[in-house]
Structure 1
Amino acid sequence: MQIAPMRAELSAALEILASLFYRRPDADQLAALAEPLSQWPELGSQGPDQARALATALSATEFEAISRDHYDLFEAPKGRKAYPWGSVYTHKDNLLFADSCRAYQAFLREQGMQFELTANEPVDHIGLMLGALAHLVAQQQDDAAQTLLGEHLLPWAGRLFECVQEGASTAYYRALTTLTESLLLTLRDSWAVPVRIIPLYK
């Protein structure tokens, strides 16, 4: 895939995925997905088919089930099924704000990027990282985008996606994960990004 001709579409797709992972489900937000999913750009050979699968899963699932699944996967104080923060996977004691999170914070500072967060939360949340990647792509900062992918996101994101696939009770979150992982791997292959291999602990 050639990145340059698809830059605007790629950034918009990443923004959508970022919001779906980061925000609690909102009925209006999900209703507004129908159009962008039906027009999903040709980002990889399977992208449009996977977007249609997500749209099908969304239309077939009650909002309450999606909301409950989001809580069980990402928010439940006990028994959470898929932690959305990178350092949970990269630290041997599964700690938040651990070394990989601090390294990512330093990377963001180097890029002049910061998030206005409403709570003291780690910035290595999958949704926030997808949003940062969208920004870098839109700004044509491809070297930084490749560093984010290979050094900070892909080393652990595959394990998160596995946890979602294993723990989700709705086809919606399984389809969302499939679409997101496919797009990230398409970017990896298009840019020939080397992915840092690290031990994972969850």
Structure 2
Amino acid sequence: MTSEDNKWIISAAMFNWLADIFYQIPTAEKLVLVKESLVDWPILSKDPSVHVNTILASIEADGQGEINQDFHRLFIGPGKKEVYPWGSIYTDEEKLLFGPSTFLWKEFCFENNLDIQPESNEPTDHFALFFYGLAAIMLSEYDDEKKSFIVSKILKVHFHPWGKTVLELIEQKAQTGYFKGFALLAKDLVEHWS
């Protein structure tokens, strides 16, 4: 395995972790796994230790109950979500779901053999699904040049117009260090690949 192959595999694992953190409800089992695994978070360009320590401290101080409440408050409700996770909310003039950016993303996925399936009847332009998509491309059989091209296009065309805003909103509005820390890790990883 070459160092280039290793870079793709490590980055794909990081994007998959982040996708899972921001898309799945945090369970007690997941928090145990995070605690066990996060200490080995790779260094790609920036030292992640401050963000990792913030997350680990939050798991200890806040526990699964508060982290779960924060997840719901940020992304689900009840009431108004603190952070809308779908790109069309940020790119559509009327701030509607299933806007033109959703359909452009869906078309891009089809053209590049990305099978992105939301768990419920929601748009495919949820920011965490972009992370799953990036990971899938990084682990694909495409050659390095094609992988780089597709990753760059996902980030520049489909994610950057709104995705950084989502991560900044999570950082600002999260009440636990868990989500603040993961938003910062995500920003660093996206920046590394941009």
TM normalised by structure 1 equals 0.86
1:44 paired residue number? 45
Aligned partner letter, 2:57 = T
Contact preservation (8 Å) 2:57, 2:177:
no
Which deviations, in whole Å up to 9, do the C-alpha atoms of 1:42-83 show, x marking residues without a partner? 122223442333223223222110111111110015221000
CA distance 1:103–1:128, change in 2 (3 Å): same
Matches within 5 A, 1:36-115: 36-115=37-116
Of 129-138 and 35-44, more deviation after overlay is shown by 35-44
| Higher deviation after alignment, 47-56 or 130-139 | 47-56
The alpha-carbon deviation at position 168 of structure 1 amounts to 1.3
Match of residue 177, structure 2, among 171, 179, 196: 171
CA–CA separation in structure 2 for the residues paired with 1:118 and 1:40: 27
Task: Tell me how far apart the structure 1 counterparts of residues 63 and 47 of structure 2 sit (CA, whole Å).
Answer: 26
Identify the residue that residue 190 of structure 2 maps to in structure 1. Answer: 184
Q: Which moved more, 1:44-53 or 1:74-83?
A: 44-53
Using the alignment, how far apart are the partners of 2:54 and 2:64 within structure 1? 17
CA-CA distance at 1:110 after TM superposition = 0.4
User: Which residue identity does 1:165 align to in structure 2?
Assistant: E
1:161 counterpart residue number: 167
- Aligned 8 A contact 2:118 2:129 in 1: no
User: 1:74-113 CA distances to partner (integer Å, 9 max, x unpaired)?
Assistant: 0015221000111101112111110111100010000112
1:122-201 correspondence runs (5 A): 122-139=123-140, 140=144, 141-188=147-194
CA distance in 2 between counterparts of 1:113 and 1:100 reads: 16
Question: Which whole-Å deviations, capped at 9, do the CAs of 1:12-40 have from their partners, x for residues lacking one?
Answer: 11100000001111110121012321111
Report the CA distance between 1:3 and its aligned residue: 5.5
Name the % identity.
27
CA distance in 2, matches of 1:74, 1:45: 27
**What letter is aligned with 1:123?**
T
Letter matched to residue 190 of structure 2: L
* C-alpha distance in 2 between matches for 1:153 and 1:116: 17
Q: TM-score when scaled to structure 2?
A: 0.89
Equivalents in 1 of 2:5, 2:119: separation in Å?
34
**Equivalent position amino acid for 1:82 in 2:** V
For the Cα contact (< 8 Å) 2:114–2:136, is it kept in 1?
no
More helix per residue: 2
1:7 aligns with 2:8: yes
Tell me, in whole angstroms, the C-alpha distance in 1 between the residues paired with 2:73 and 2:54. 22
> Is the Cα–Cα contact under 8 Å of residues 47 and 183 in structure 1 kept in the other structure?
no
CA distance in 2, matches of 1:3, 1:57: 34
RMSD: 1.7
